[in-house]
Amino acid sequence: MLLLQTPAWGAHAYAQFGDIKHPADFKHFDWVNPTAPRGGEITLVAPTTASQYDKYNPFTLKGTAPPGLGELVFESLLTGTLDEPTTAYGLLAEDVSIGPDKRSATFRLNPKARFQDGSPVLAQDVKYSFDRLTGKGAHPAYANLFADVRGVVVLGERLIRFDFGQASAELPLIVGGLPVFSHKWGAGKSFDEVITEKPIASGPYRIGKEVFSRDISYDRDSAYWAEGLPVRRGQYNFARINYRIYSDEVVQTEAFKAGEFDYIQVFSSRQWARTYVGSKFDAGAISKQLLPNRNASDFQGMLINSRRDKFKDPRVREALAATMDFEWMNRQLFYGSYTRVSGYFPGSDFEARGLPGEDELALLTPLRNKLSPQIFSDPVPVPPSTDPPGSLRDNLRRARDLLAAAGWTVRDGALRNAAGQRFTLEFLVGQAQAPSSMRILAPMIKNLEKLGIQASIRPTDAALLQKRMDVFDYDITTVRVPGREAPGSELRDRFSSAAARTEGSNNLPGVADPAVDALIEKALSATTRPQLVAALRALDRVLRFGHYAIPEWYQSSFRTAWHAGRFGQPETRPLYYQPENWILSAWWALTPVSTAGAASTTRAP
């Protein structure tokens, strides 16, 4: 066996900060039932933001892959657990070795690992997957993710080494999460031409019954190679997983109540309070629960496209944020259920507060010539409140003054710049979310009108919405970014100058700031959690002084509903999880399978 160079690492697992919970001979994770029965079905629903799918390749920029494909069909060298956010255990790789200089990670593949066509998973397949994902035709997010990998070397049939451009505690986790597929999948074609060829991968499920571009099912592989591994024991118990796709929220909700699918997560407070009620809920036929968790909270906000001339001045962006009256919205629209987002890492240790501490100053001071003096002298910005002694009138006055300082004043009944151009803006929203977006944006549009700004809402179907976001063709759009317990390389894709210039990246506001780039690299090079905390607080601080977003809100629990009596779940709930991932990996069916007509997917009754 390859031995690791540091006692904090174990050959069966890798932890970014050395905190591996389970020993090499562990039997299963704590949040599963190792004797859970196999069989039955579950039917889930794709988000209404998702369009009908048109490809089986989830790794390219153009088109839409079906829901569930990446999670159920593809596997990686290491797999995470829902209890340890910065630890991963061997899956396709049976052990991992870190180089003494921390600039490489070597993986030895499990000889039992098999693709669903029966062929073995070999080192050449791992290298092929890496080359495809970082090459032409792949989604640019993968090139950003693996940017610090300088080379991949096949050392033997089942031995492969990743060489890093710099020492990093996170990089072994990143390469360990590489999706692996057979070198036969798409061979001879450019990767973006691999569209309707079904994947040759190693996961517990393969594509089953489908209505192409609409509903899809996944059947459990009866010869699944990892059946007995500790990292898979008690998991993926359903014989079939179905997804239904709806383009309308009202239709989706009524379909759920009628039993066309089994589980849903609700993101609208209004729907939760007023729509997910009735006799089936009262009788317990449908279970409606707020699921607690210890996750870092999601960031949700309206991102302002700073690439556009009218938004380049941060004072303009700050002024726009002052037009949102969150406190009124929370009372009148949200049933008091939300907490206001302040920064980019809400509800976590990484959120900047007040003035910078000594640990932040140690990182910020060398960047002083790239930073606004306010970062050192003023408390970190927080969204303006309308709770007394604050008021919307005061906030709008402040916004008016900021706009004037940036060269925008009211003339001839409209806000104009020195050239006489009128200030207009458009909120880009998904068609399915248009009704709820209208309720939220209508009060803001009235407040913008008071400043002389002409604002409008552009509802757009999912495919066009994604296309416009990919090429950064919008003024303002809303996103929700899932929280992470240890943010890392995805920060480049969200905030780096390189990503701001790369179509398809997640740097939607167009952040292009050398100080931000430097702080991202500090976060990526952190070898202890305190170092990571300091770097991310400093990053959060700099971003907030840039005013790239109109912060929205978050909730610290999941709103979920499912048809009761159909499923079992383990006694122990994981600490860090997303509900759908937990359900698919740990729940099981209680009753036999039934069908409900040709137009519906099959489901457990």
Other CB atoms within 10 Å distance of the CB of residue 88: 25
Is the pLDDT score of 3 beyond 70?
no
Beta-sheet pairing, 240-244 with 216-220: antiparallel
Q: Tell me: the pLDDT tens digits for 92-145?
A: 999 999 999 999 999 999 999 999 999 999 999 999 999 999 999 999 989 989
pLDDT at 598 over 50: no
pLDDT the model gives residue 351: 96
In this structure, of 219-223, 259-263, 463-467, 546-550, the range with the lowest mean pLDDT score is 463-467
For tokens 């640019």, the residue is 140
Strand ranges in 257-341 using DSSP code E only, listed in sequence order: 263-265, 286-292, 299-304, 339-340
- Mean predicted lDDT score pLDDT of the chain: 92
Q: According to the model, what pLDDT value does residue 434 have?
A: 84
Q: In what order do the strands lie in the sheet with 549-551?
A: 454-460, 424-430, 476-481, 299-304, 549-551
Share of the chain above pLDDT 70, in %: 95
The DSSP-derived string for 471-486 is TT--SEEEEEE---SS
pLDDT for residue 311:
98
Of 182-196, 331-345, 481-495, 585-599, the one with minimum mean pLDDT is 585-599
- Among 490, 455, 85, smallest CA distance to 304 is for 455
At the topology level of CATH, where does 299-384+394-554 sit? Dipeptide-binding Protein; domain 3 (3.10.105)
Mean pLDDT of 280-301: 93
pLDDT of residue 493: 94
From residue 501, give the alpha-carbon distance in Å to each of 62, 133, 443, 470, 492: 18, 19, 33, 11, 12
The burial class, CB within 10 Å (0-12 / 13-18 / 19+), for 187 is exposed
Closest by CA to 56, choosing from 33, 41, 40, 72, is 72
Predicted pLDDT at 462: 84
**Could you give the C-alpha distances from 154 to 83, 105, 401, 471, 501, in angstroms and in order?**
32, 12, 61, 37, 33
pLDDT category at 240 given cuts 50, 70, 90 is very high
Nearest residue to 64 (alpha-carbon basis) of 47, 78, 79, 80: 47
Give 584's pLDDT tier (boundaries 50, 70, 90): very high
On the question of pLDDT at 7 being above 50, the answer is: no
| Residue owning tokens 């702080």 | 519
Least confident of 112-116, 195-199, 293-297: 293-297
Q: Is pLDDT at 4 greater than 80 in this prediction?
A: no
DSSP 420: -
**Local structure of residue 107 (DSSP, 8 states):** E
Neighbours of 547 (CB within 10 A): 23
Specify the pLDDT at position 50.
Answer: 60
Q: What residue segments make up the domains of the chain, in order of their start?
A: 299-384+394-554
* 431: nearest Cα among 472, 474, 473, 463: 463
Instruction: Report the distance separating Cα 177 and Cα 79, nearest Å.
Output: 7
Does the pLDDT at position 595 exceed 70?
no
Judged by DSSP in three states, 568 sits in: strand
Mean pLDDT of 570-577: 94
66, 371, 470, 471 from 504: Cα distances, Å: 19, 28, 4, 6
Say yes or no to pLDDT of 591 above 80: no
Please classify residue 365 by burial: count the beta carbons closer than 10 Å to its beta carbon, then call 0-12 exposed, 13-18 middle and 19+ buried.
Answer: exposed
Q: What are phi and psi of 88, to 5 degrees?
A: -135, 145
pLDDT of 605 over the 70 cut: no
The pLDDT score that the predictor gives to residue 48 is 64
For residue 25, give the 3-state DSSP assignment. coil
**What is the per-residue pLDDT across 20-60, written as a single tens digit (0 to 9) for each?**
999 999 999 999 999 999 999 999 998 766 668 899 999 99
Three-class secondary structure of residue 517 per DSSP: helix
pTM assigned to the model:
0.82
Which residues is 426 bridged to in the sheet? 456
Token look-up 């998973």 returns 121
What is the rounded CA–CA span in Å between residue 401 and residue 382?
Answer: 18
φ, ψ at 537 (rounded to 5°): -65, -40
- The closest alpha carbon to 106, from 4, 231, 15, belongs to 4
Residue 446 φ then ψ, to 5°: -65, -40
Q: Over range 566-571, report the average pLDDT.
A: 96
